[in-house]
Amino acid sequence: MDYAYTLWILTLPVAMFLTIGLSGDRLKSNAAGILGTAGLAVIAALSWFTAFSYFGSGLPESGFQPVIAAQTTWLAFTETLVIHLGILLDPLSVMMLVVITTVSLMVHIYSLGYMHGERGYNRYYAFLSLFTFSMLGLVVATNIFQMYIFWELVGVSSYLLIGFYYEKPSAVAAAKKAFIVTRFADLGFLIGILLLSFNTGTFDFAALNDMSGSAIAQPVTTVFMGLSVSTWAMLLIFMGGAGKSAMFPLHIWLPDAMEGPTPVSALIHAATMVVAGVYLVARLFPVYHFAAPDSLEVIAWVGSFTSLFAAVIACTQLDIKRVLAFSTLSQIGYMMVALGVSGYGDEGVGYMASLFHLFTHAFFKALLFLGAGSVIHAVHSNLMTDMGGLRKYMPLTHLTFLIACLTIAGVPPLSGFFSKDEILVAAFEHNKVIFAVQWFVAGLTAFYMFRLYFNIFWNSDPHYHHTPHESPPTMTGPLLFLAAASVLAGFVPFHDFVTTDGKPLETEFHTLVAVPSVLIGLAGIALAWWMYARKNSRPESVAQTLHGLYSAAFRKFYIDELYLFITHQLIFRFISRPVAWFDRHIVDGTMNLIGNTTVSVSVAIKKMQSGELQWYIWYFTSGVLVLTLILLYLN
Amino acid sequence: MSGPKIIFFILAAAILVFSVMSIFSRRILRAAIYLLFVLVSMAGLYYMMNFQFLAAVQLILYAGGIVVLIIFSILLTSQINSTLDPPRKSHLLLGAVTSVLGLILGATTILKYSFQASASAPIGTDMRTIGRHLLGTGAEGYALPFEVITVLLLAALVGSILIARKPKV
Amino acid sequence: MNLQSEIPLEYMIVLSTAVFFIGLVGVVIRRNLITMLMGIELMLNAVNINFVAFNHYLFPHRLEGHFFALIVMAIAAAEAAVAIALIINIYRKFSTVSVDDVDELKY
């Protein structure tokens, strides 16, 4: 099967980025939007076609095998250590292609309505194309270095899109924060890449994940600070993933990233870019599993803690986009947990569950964000205190948002139920503590999502300046499509397609796990209904009772303040200031001294250029004499 | 002391004394006349060394041509009676020091080197020989430099006319 | 007339060196363009003595020094003509021939 046409999946977004970006205002803004959307529709169609031909070609005996659709050598360091650029198709990357292009297409269509009349409409579509290109390049990377390149490109496009409203200081600050935090994490990623490639002599995923390859067959067991070098390498790579996926304690940028336009939040900060960390761990999963099982344990606990931590914070936030942001953190925590507790081959249910959840989460979280965007579009506020009773005004948004909430709460038979259930099963088989935490977080998820839902669509009607109205069809269309996807995605036989070794996986239904998780989800919904369905004083009294916890969670457990303390009080004061002083006085001083000396010397000797002929003759003669002396007596 | 020696010393003394006077005289016209004396004495020196033609050229060209040209320009550019400014102390000092040092350096170097006078028979310096060499194109012919000099002289002629003429207003 | 036995070559060359440096002093101390030109003429003549003397003492069978001196004279004539043309032009422009006042190219 020839997959060379997949190159178009990468070249089209670049072409669109250049066309829209370089044409500037010469392109009418409607034209830019339609061009971008049409281009993305083509890409999405190509991706779907790729997926059908890849999965539809029938299951080979040995499971789905990776295909290198295109490859070119970019840098050759040695015979073996070569950096390629290429396109790798395997179940994981094909699944990601479908998710990214589908969600991206929905966001493009949605943005036609949402961004209508905004300044910088063309810029917005150019950046979206750039992001799509980077993200697609990331998932089809054949080697870890190519992935790193696109990883950084993704970071840049995320930065550009968060800072889209660059006239707002808060947006600029958020963009900087996101860039710096993820860049800091990428430092670990880069060191991890270097460690790994130094020890294995390859960048290629195929060689790294090869069972007989040096990464798995001969892990470096040299112990450094209690962990083997292989474990360190994989942990550092995970650090990069944790930065992009906003795992604790590198999560602080994601809530602030909500300063960007809402469709961007849906695309980048919910469905695609933030799951890059999950994708990274999944991509290198055999290495993690066989060479560095300790790091998988770390991943599981980090994921578990993040999901609990973020869920607690989400229960207290008032800004609806921030609630969704923390919900995203929590759900990515789920995915990380599933990867962390997963085994390989027949026991790889966690791996499958994680990617299944990634798949379903992309749809329902994008739906939630787009729905929130629709609400914000109507109310012109982000705060849930300014909302209420909107079900009367926005029936379609209400319906789709309800579906999304039910999905994320894990109500059967919606897709969230299936994927979350698989994760809980995997956790249950691996570690009961993690299972308990995740089970509790499932309840919290249901609670905070329905707190959001009831506060927006029920509760009492605040005084609106003008009556909210339903969004245009360009916005409700994607909502309906994503709602349908959220409902139906659970029925995709995912365990047949995306597994650790490419072979189908037998999964069984655990009543012992499924029933309690559904029950706690329903309990969360019920609690939310009791507290928020109608205006009453119960929320305040609960907040009063849990005063310490509530205010701590409301302030996001003071993590931002901690970061500020560390950076401003410790790093800036004790490292940066002396360094700045050194730079200003010693380094600059040296340079100034050299410059000033040159100037003063030239001022002093410029008198020699007096314009007086006699002096020139005298200089000349003296020079001849001195030369003669040197030649005669010093030779 | 033999005759040639006496004549040489008289000529040498005349050259040195008149050149120093020409340098330090503050009357510019007198300086030019002293220069004329120096050049004439040099012609005598050439004559002593059997280069009669060169001596004649020295007299005609330098004494008759260049010095007249210099006097002519003096008359054109400044009052005859005006005296030159006395030399600046610093210029005098530096020039004198450099010159004395250079003289000492040159003289010691020359005197240390023992020249071997050639014993080969001198070539005649009659006009026939000079003329044949000057316009010869053979091994010791100087036709090419001669022609180059003619071109240079022509260029100088044209150039000085062009430079010195009154600009068209 | 053969001088070789009477006057050593060194005398001639020391004489020319002395004239050369006298000419140099003349160029350095005077600020009048014409007197500077006279100093330069002295220096050129000193060099001529060298050429002639070397020819006479060391290579009597050839005429190279002689012709060199001849060429130097021709060049001196050309130079004097051009220099005087320049001096006249400068005088016309600046009403002076002192180099102190002609320093347009100063730093």
Identify which has the larger pLDDT, A178 or A76.
A178
Decide if C77 touches B, using CB distance below 8 A. yes
Residue A44: pLDDT above 50? yes
Domain C9-94 has CATH 1.10.287.3510: yes
pTM: 0.67
Total count of residues recorded for chain A: 635
pLDDT over 70, % of chain A: 98
**Per-residue pLDDT tens digits for A359-395:** 888 888 888 888 888 888 888 888 877 777 777 888 8
Residue of C nearest to B60 (CA): C73
What pLDDT score was predicted for residue B42?
A: 92
Q: Across the A/C interface, how many CB contacts are shorter than 8 Å?
A: 28
Q: Is the Cβ pair A611, C27 closer than 8 Å? A: no
Q: Is the dihedral angle over the CA atoms A254, A256, A258, A260 positive or is it negative?
A: negative
3-state class of A524 per DSSP? helix
pLDDT at res. A498 = 79
Residues of B in contact with C35 (CB under 8 A): 23, 28, 31, 84
Q: Which two tokens stand for residue C96?
A: 């002076």
Chain centroid to CA A204: 22
Give chain B's mean pLDDT.
Answer: 86
Half-sphere exposure of A198 (CA within 13 A, CB side): 11
Residues lower than pLDDT 70 in chain C: 1-4, 103-107
Please tell us whether the domain made up of B3-107+124-164 is placed in CATH 3.30.70.1520: no
Q: What confidence tier does B80 reach under pLDDT thresholds 50, 70, 90?
A: low
Q: Does C70 touch chain A (CB under 8 A)?
A: no
Render pLDDT for A487-502 as a digit per residue (tens, 0 to 9). 888 887 777 777 777 7
CA-nearest of A72, A75, A73, A78 to A201 is A78
**pLDDT band per the 50, 70, 90 thresholds, residue A596:** very high
Residue type, A465: H
Average pLDDT over residues B37-65: 90
Looking at residues B107-120, what average pLDDT do you find? 82
Chains that touch B (3 or more CB pairs under 8 A): A, C
More confident residue, A464 or A191: A191
pLDDT of residue C1: 47
| CB contact (8 A) between residue C36 and residue A613 | yes
Residues in chain C closer than 8 A to A618 (CB atoms):
28
Dump pLDDT digits (tens) for C39-69: 999 999 999 999 999 988 888 888 888 899 9
Six token digits for residue A273: 């870019």
Q: Does A635 touch chain B (CB under 8 A)?
A: no
pLDDT surpassing 90 at residue B77? no
Nearest to C71 among B118, B123, B145 (CB): B145
Contact A207, A213 (CB under 8 A): yes
Query: Does residue A621 belong to the interface with chain C, where contact is any CB pair within 8 Å?
Result: yes
Mean pLDDT comparison of A178-182, A593-597, A617-621, C77-81, highest-scoring range = A593-597
By Cβ distance, the residue of A618, A629, A632 closest to B98 is A618
Q: So what's the pLDDT on residue B169?
A: 62
DSSP H stretches of helix in A342-414? 349-379, 395-409
Which tens digit of pLDDT belongs to each residue from A328-348? 888 888 888 888 888 887 778
User: pLDDT tens digits, residue range A3-17?
Assistant: 788 888 888 888 888
Count helices and strands (H / E) in chain B. 7, 0
Q: For residues A339 and A465, is the Cβ–Cβ distance under 8 A?
A: no
Whole-number pLDDT of residue B29: 87
**A513-554 pLDDT, tens digit each:** 788 888 888 888 888 888 877 777 777 777 777 777 777 777
**At B37, is the pLDDT very low, low, confident or very high (cuts 50, 70, 90)?**
very high
Residues of C in contact with B54 (CB under 8 A): 52, 66, 69-70
| pLDDT score for C105 | 61
Which pLDDT belongs to residue B167? 72
Say if C99 is an interface residue toward chain A (CB within 8 Å).
yes
Quote ipTM for the complex.
0.88
Asked if C31 lies within 8 A of A621 by C-beta distance, the reply is no
Query: What is the average pLDDT score of chain A?
Result: 84
The verdict on C24 touching A (C-beta cutoff 8 Å) is yes
Q: What is the pLDDT of residue C51?
A: 92
pLDDT tens-digit series, residues A132-176: 999 998 988 888 888 899 999 998 988 998 888 888 888 888 888
Domain boundary assignment for chain B: 3-107+124-164
Q: Do A609 and C99 touch (CB under 8 A)?
A: no
pLDDT at A441 over 60: yes
| CB-based contact B31:C35 (threshold 8 Å) | yes
When comparing pLDDT for A255 and A592, which is higher?
A592
Per-residue pLDDT at A628 exceeds 80: yes
Residues of B in contact with C98 (CB under 8 A): 85
CA dist A352 and A95 (Å) reads 12
Greater model confidence, B77 or C14: C14
Beta-carbon separation of A612 and C36 below 8 A: no
CA distance B140 to chain C (A): 8
